């Protein structure tokens, strides 16, 4: 089982929290300026991918000294550096992909990063955006029927369920303070915002539609 962690060039609110997401066996990709985050944590990626317009000189020096593979693309391109990194990751056929540094900062880039998660080539991969404080991912029905998602955290964490692009039907939740039982959420209403985890695990399943799940960890 291969997990790939991609560091993007977005905002990381807490480097200790971000570093706590990593596992020893992870394959790490730096999407251009994502290498700056890794440099701050004294971690070398397995590969750097992008046009290299956002990576600082200190990070470049560490990459060169560590003989890290670099896959450079021209600045005039149709894909973002994150898309290019995802393409490389998909070719490696991972079980899961974690994108660190893809939330916060510019709203347009955050929305684009969320949208990328719905690429058809990622439909069989558990892919999530995470910065250590917040995690965002989608739950959508599989070919076999209802799709279920798991949220791992702790009591008191906040979980928001947001219909993405249309109505989401047949929603069932377990482990949340305000449960949903075969219910519907509408994109023009905010009913699914700010639910609370009752324990270390919560589950969500849906029958139709696409549901954005945002998990915000409580930091004490």
Tell whether 147 and 126 lie within a shared domain: no
Looking at residue 38, what is its pLDDT?
Answer: 96
Long-range Cβ contacts of 23-29 (<8 Å, 24+ apart): 26/98, 27/2, 27/3, 27/92, 27/94, 28/4, 29/4, 29/5, 29/85, 29/88, 29/89
Read off the CATH number of the domain in which 192 is found: 3.40.50.10240
Query: Phi, psi at residue 32, to the nearest 5°?
Result: 50, -110
119 and 142 in a single domain? The answer is no
Residues 101 and 150 in one domain: no
Q: Which of 108, 132, 156 is the last residue of a domain?
A: 132
Q: Rounded to whole angstroms, how far apart are CA atoms 18 and 171?
A: 31
Q: Which of 71, 103, 132 is the last residue of a domain?
A: 132
Residue 93 confidence (pLDDT):
94
Co-location of 114 and 138 in the same domain: no
Same structural domain for residues 128 and 138?
no
Predicted TM-score (pTM) of the model is: 0.91
| Strand, helix or coil for residue 81 | helix
118 and 186 belong to one structural domain: no
Domain of 93, in residue numbers: 1-132
Looking at the structure, tell me whether residues 118 and 139 fall in a common domain: no
* pLDDT confidence tier of residue 145, bands split at 50, 70 and 90: low
Same domain, 117 and 149: no
112, 9 in Cβ contact below 8 A? no
Contact (Cβ atoms closer than 8 angstroms) between residue 7 and residue 30: yes
Give the number of other CB atoms < 10 A from CB of residue 15.
Answer: 12
The closest alpha carbon to 211, from 173, 167, 178, belongs to: 167
For position 141, what pLDDT does the model report? 67
**Chain segment 146-171, per-residue pLDDT in tens:** 688 999 999 999 999 999 989 999 99
Domain total of the chain? 2
Of 219, 164, 217, 218, give the one whose Cα is nearest residue 192. Answer: 164
> 143 and 126: one domain?
no
Q: End-to-end distance of the chain based on CA atoms, in angstroms?
A: 33
What confidence score (pLDDT) does residue 31 get?
A: 95
């Amino acid at each position: 089982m291969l997990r790939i962690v991609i560091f993007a060039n977005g905002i990381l609110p807490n480097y200790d929290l971000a570093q706590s997401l990593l596992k020893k066996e992870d394959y790490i990709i730096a999407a251009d300026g994502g290498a700056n985050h890794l440099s701050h944590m004294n971690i070398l990626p397995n590969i750097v991918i992008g046009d290299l317009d956002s990576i600082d000189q200190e990070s470049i020096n560490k990459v060169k000294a560590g003989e890290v593979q670099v896959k450079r693309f021209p600045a005039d391109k149709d894909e973002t550096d994150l898309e290019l990194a995802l393409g490389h990751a998909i070719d490696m056929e991972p079980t899961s992909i974690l994108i660190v540094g893809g939330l916060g900062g510019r709203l347009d880039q955050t929305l684009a990063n969320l949208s990328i998660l719905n690429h058809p080539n990622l439909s069989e991969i558990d892919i999530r955006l995470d910065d250590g404080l917040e995690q965002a991912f989608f739950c959508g029905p599989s070919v076999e029927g209802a799709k279920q998602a798991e949220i791992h955290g702790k009591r008191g964490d906040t979980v928001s369920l947001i219909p993405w692009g249309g109505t989401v039907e047949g929603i069932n939740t377990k482990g949340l303070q305000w449960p949903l039982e075969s219910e519907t959420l509408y994109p023009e209403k905010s009913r699914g915002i700010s639910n609370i985890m009752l324990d270390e695990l919560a589950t969500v399943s849906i029958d139709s539609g696409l549901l954005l799940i945002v998990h915000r960890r409580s930091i004490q």
